[in-house]
Amino acid sequence: MLSELYERTNTMNSFEPKKLALLRILQILEQYSDYDNPLKQEDIARCLDRDYGIVIERKAIGRNISLLREAGYEILTERPESGVS
């Protein structure tokens, strides 16, 4: 019965929960950006929505990037109009 409930819930919610945004942002940065090809937060937001169905505000993306940096990931940021690499 529990597995049946999981299958119905999983089928109805084909998009991932926002809790996975931190992990997905890291994956997007690793896949699509480097020093020569930075991503803007808007680019990351588009990838999150397109690839994972996760819609979050730009400020939340910035907070998640800060968390990744605090965790030891080397993520370079430039402001105001440049991107994140």
Helix crossing, 21-32 with 58-70: angle to 10°? 80
Domains of the chain plus CATH, in order, are 17-85 (1.10.10)
pLDDT(19) > 60: yes
Residue 7 is predicted with a pLDDT of 47
The pTM score is 0.73
Tens-place pLDDT, residues 22-77: 999 999 999 999 999 999 999 999 999 999 999 999 999 999 999 999 999 999 88
Give the model's pLDDT for residue 65: 96
Alpha-carbon separation of residue 60 from 10, 37, 54, 66 (angstroms): 25, 22, 12, 10
H/E element, 33:
none
